[in-house]
Amino acid sequence: MTDDRLEPLDTSPSSHAESTTTATQALGPELLIGSNIFRNTNGVVTIQGKEQLVLETRQEQGLLLVTIDLYDAAGTQIAHIRRNTLVINRAAQFTIDIHQATTNMPSDAPWVRLYSRQSGEIAFEARIVADNRIQITSGRLYSHTGALVDITPHYCRIGSGRTLFGDIVENRGRTVILG
């Protein structure tokens, strides 16, 4: 004789759906550098072989955190910013301006600007443009080798030899490599 009892249908989400959701949530930040898109990064940018920039978000605190080493044209370190705090600032060359978001409005997104006291120009600017997306809107800084790194909304130029324009790179959770 066979058992004719029916088992209730399991309507809970499958483990596949859970792993897909978890994998999506675990993706690293997307960095927009000039007109270039670096997807699924670890937030670290290496310039000419040296880790020079780290971008982190603290959404619950409404913050974008920047850690960056700044060099002069000879490749000598002149400043170091650690999570938005000027730790080294030789000859007081830079000032930093930080906007902490207080609402969830896109117009109130967190940003960090670094100014050159000599010229008054922005040396580096980054902002959160969407969940898990950080844009470096401008930058004019030097690498540890003394090469100029020039970032505009249209391109990212490293020294006189390499210009990135409209590239889309899948980083698979790794570091962004420039130059």
130-170 pLDDT, tens digit each: 989 999 999 999 999 999 999 999 999 999 888 999 999 99
What are the 10-residue block averages of pLDDT along the chain, 179 residues in total? 50 47 67 97 97 94 96 96 96 95 88 95 96 95 97 95 93 94
Q: Residue 109 domain-assigned?
A: yes
Residue 162 structural domain: 30-171+174-178
Q: What is the pLDDT of residue 107?
A: 85
Q: Residue 23 domain-assigned?
A: no
Q: What is the pLDDT of residue 3?
A: 52
User: Considering its fold, how many domains does the chain have in total?
Assistant: 1
Q: Residue 57 domain-assigned?
A: yes
Q: What is the pLDDT of residue 11?
A: 46
Helix H or strand E encompassing 176 = strand 168-178
pTM for this structure?
Answer: 0.83
Q: What is the pLDDT of residue 18?
A: 46
Q: What is the pLDDT of residue 19?
A: 45
At 32, the amino acid letter reads: L
CA distances (Å), origin 8, targets 5, 11, 12, 178? 10, 9, 12, 56
Nearest Cα residue to 32 out of 171, 141, 144 = 171
Q: Residue 10 domain-assigned?
A: no
Q: Residue 148 domain-assigned?
A: yes
Q: Residue 6 domain-assigned?
A: no
Nearest Cα residue to 140 out of 34, 63, 35, 54 = 34
Q: What is the pLDDT of residue 161?
A: 84
Q: What is the pLDDT of residue 32?
A: 98
Q: Residue 19 domain-assigned?
A: no
Q: What is the pLDDT of residue 24?
A: 46
Bridge partners for 2 per DSSP:
none
3-state SS of 66-107? EEEEEECCCCCEEEEEECCEEEEEHHHCEEEEEECCCCCCHH
Q: Residue 167 domain-assigned?
A: yes
Q: What is the pLDDT of residue 59?
A: 86
Q: Provide φ and ψ at 83, rounded to 5°.
A: 45, 55
Q: What is the pLDDT of residue 20?
A: 44
